[in-house]
Amino acid sequence: MLLSTPALVNVPGPTSFEYLRTVNGTIHDTYRSACQALNLLENDQHWDNCINDACETSTPSQIRALFGIILTTCSPSAPTELWEKYKSIMSEDILHQKRLETSDMTFDFTSEIYNYTLVIIEDLCVCMANKPLQDLGMPSPNRTAAVSTCVELDREQSYSTNDLLSYVQNNISKLTSEQKDIYNTIMHFVDNNVGEIFFLDAPGGAGKTFVIKLILASIRSKNDIALAIASSGIAATLLPGGRTAHSALKLPLNLYSTETPTCNISKPSGMGKVLQQCKLIIWDECTMAHKKSLEALDQCLKDLRGNSKPFGSTLILLAGDFRQTLPIIP
């Protein structure tokens, strides 16, 4: 066999496309499998070992997240083989929930359960890399048969309301008079479902993050949605459920060179539903953000909410540090 060169494009004297897919007398279905047979591609053994190790200590949801990361960032050679090997482990929590719903402990894995798992994984991949499973070498889930779900929406409503309520009750008395005025002002607009734009300017150590965490807990304790984003990853980690603005809002990386940047969010998408239903959006360290990122959010909210007022009449709390000690103002 002549296919001993380092790439199929360098095969000497090919006579047909079928000839290129032939290795040691075996005709492979794809060029990728022919390259794998020639050891021209790296195999997935290390990704297999990674998932196998995670199965020892991780929950099904964590394994699904790991699988999504591998799909979107590591380009495995045969992702469907990894899926077939570990799909039952990644679906165990869904099977358990189905057994509880049907009161039938003998209920076993079905194609619907695996399809539901694929839907969750695809939502994770879209969230992480804006790519459906079809673009990652995986079979696309049948969303018409899947139970209606939204990873982004579930993420923002997965908090323990009892724990959050306890946190609010234990910490609200610790607010200073100025902090309490800020808290009461924001909660008044939240409770009355009124859209407004506020800016909280406070230097480091003034308790800005403490107030923000208390506001987030108060809203989420009522099972409402409060979106917490920040301009930097470090600031995002300080907020419960915090994410960077670029990640959450799907902002383009080339904000400086884009004349009118937009958020890559559609109405039916998970984040689209979150932005339509959220009671409050908190953007910490907004002073570090380019003005076009705020303009993109403004236009996005107008489109999603069908409202031409600033930010689609969404309640917005911008927070940052201009090295001043101004009170909160609308």
Enter the pTM of the model.
0.62
Highest mean pLDDT among 23-32, 246-255, 306-315: 306-315
Looking at the chain, the whole-number percentage of residues with pLDDT higher than 90 is 50
Contacts of 260 (CB under 8 A, 6+ apart): 295, 299
Most confident of 12-21, 23-32, 227-236, 263-272: 227-236
What mean pLDDT do residues 64-75 have?
Answer: 93
Question: Do 20 and 32 touch, CB atoms closer than 8 A?
Answer: no
List C-alpha distances in Å: 273 to 299, 302, 305. Answer: 16, 13, 10
Predicted local confidence at residue 202, as pLDDT: 84
Q: Across all residues in the chain, what is the average pLDDT?
A: 86
Question: What is the pLDDT, as a whole number, of residue 2?
Answer: 35
Angle at alpha carbon of residue 200, lines to 194 and 203, rounded to 5°: 170
Domains of the chain, start order: 8-37 (no CATH), 45-149 (no CATH), 156-320 (3.40.50)
Give the angle 91-94-99 at the CA atoms, nearest 5°. Answer: 125
Residue type, 215: I
Give the integer Cα–Cα distance in Å for 134 and 219: 37
Q: What is the pLDDT of residue 150?
A: 60
Q: In Å, what is the CA distance from 179 to each residue of 3, 169, 172, 214, 269?
A: 72, 15, 10, 10, 36
d(CA 290, CA 313): 21
Question: Which has more pLDDT, 134 or 30?
Answer: 134
Neighbours of 39 (CB within 10 A): 8
88 closest CA partner among 76, 96, 78: 96
Tens digit of each residue's pLDDT (9 = 90 or more) over 88-129: 999 999 999 888 888 888 889 999 999 999 989 988 887 777
Candidates 148, 208, 156; CA nearest to 178 is: 208
Q: Region 310-325: what's the mean pLDDT?
A: 83
Q: Which of 113 and 21 is assigned the larger pLDDT?
A: 113
Q: What is the pLDDT of residues 202-220, one digit of tens each?
A: 887 888 999 999 999 999 9
Kindly calculate the radius of gyration of the chain based on its CA atoms and give it in whole angstroms: 25
What's residue 115's pLDDT?
92
| Number of Cβ within a 10 Å radius of residue 41 | 14
* pLDDT tens digit sequence for 151-204: 677 778 888 889 999 999 999 999 999 999 999 999 999 999 999 999 998 887
pLDDT level of residue 10 (50, 70, 90 thresholds): low
Give the span between the Cα atoms of 242 and 237, in whole angstroms. Answer: 6
Give the model's confidence band at 144: pLDDT under 50 very low, under 70 low, under 90 confident, else very high: low
Query: Quick check: 148 pLDDT over 60?
Result: no
For residue 130, pLDDT over 80 is answered with no
Residue percentage of the chain with pLDDT more than 70: 92
